[in-house]
Amino acid sequence: MENIIIENLEAPSNRSNDQNISDEIKNDSKIARQIKIQKTTRITSKVLVYVFLTLFAIFAIFPFYWMIISSLKGDLEYRRSIPTFWPEDIQWANYKIVVQDAGNLFSKTLINTLVVGLASTFLGVIITILTAFAFAKLNFKGKNLLFTLMLATMMIPGELFTTTNYITVSNWSWNYTYTVMIVPFLVSIFYIYLLRNAFMQVPDSLYKAAKVDGTSDVKYLLKVMVPLTLPTLISITLLKFIGTWNSYIWPRLVNNGNDEWQLLSNWVAKGFAYPNATTSETAPTLKMAAATMVSIPLLIVFICFRKYIMRGVSKSGTKG
């Protein structure tokens, strides 16, 4: 009788333990299923993102690829109605013809581009640093209003600036000089805005501490602000130089097509013809070869400094 009572007393507890174990197993299986679903979703999302980025990378790279392979094709192959995606017979001679045809003109345009690019970049970066520092850290009357007016000029079409600048430099007789290609575009509101945002991320306590120690604004700018915002400055420097390297309309406009005062982009746009050609028609393959010669240095610069450009732009876009 006592054994029956004991068994009846223990039976519910055993059933309770079995139920608990069963519930735990079910919970574990649910958790495992959720983990598996989350892992599958994460992997799928990553695959879709990489596929999306790969497709857009192909769209971005394809024009450069087409330019390069077109520069290595013969004229007949290039003019086929059905294009080839790789040269059947690689024509390295296209580059030799371009260099021989360029002669002293290529050297002159290269020197012009380097002089204008280095001078405009150096002076433009200095002006950008000083202006951005003034709007970021100095206090003076009308600062916000002046900065707002400067930003408002970014909404004016660039063609209007080109027209007024051309009239001004023509009245000052600046044509056919380095001055006309350097001075009008030294100031960039966008670069000032970009660097000002980077300067504003530097705590004001550093500036106040420096002033307490008797540090001048110029010394504080060179010793503190510039090193802390170096990625943004590198980005501005590279973008400024690349913009000058690619400049086409302004040098051609102010110098009236004079070959002695053109830049590399103007040299690329001129016609190239095969030696002993029977017609005056330009050869597109030679023009592609010239464009490749001018573009490769910029691609190398961008590949080498791309992390600084991305870091500088991303840091300048947020404040914290």
3-state secondary structure 13-46: HHHHHHHHHHHHHHHHHHHHHHHHHHHHHHHHHH
235 Cα distance to chain centroid? 8
The whole-number average pLDDT for the span 272-277 is 65
Instruction: Identify which has the larger pLDDT, 302 or 118.
Output: 118
Percent of the chain at pLDDT exceeding 90: 8
Specify burial of residue 62 (Cβ count, 10 A radius: 0-12, 13-18, 19+).
exposed
Q: Residue 115 pLDDT > 50, yes or no?
A: yes
CA distance 66 to 76: 16
* H helix intervals, 224-263: 226-228, 230-245, 249-254
Q: What is the dihedral of CA 23, 24, 27, 31, to 10 degrees?
A: -170
CA distances from 277 to 184, 265, 272, 281 (A): 41, 24, 11, 9
pLDDT above 70 (res 28)? no
Q: Is the pLDDT of residue 64 over 50?
A: yes
Q: How confident is the model at residue 274 (pLDDT cuts 50, 70, 90)?
A: low
Are the C-beta atoms of residues 47 and 55 closer than 8 Å to each other? no
Q: Which CATH superfamily is domain 103-316 in?
A: MetI-like (1.10.3720.10)
Question: 96-100, 138-142, 162-166, 274-278: which has the minimum mean pLDDT?
Answer: 274-278
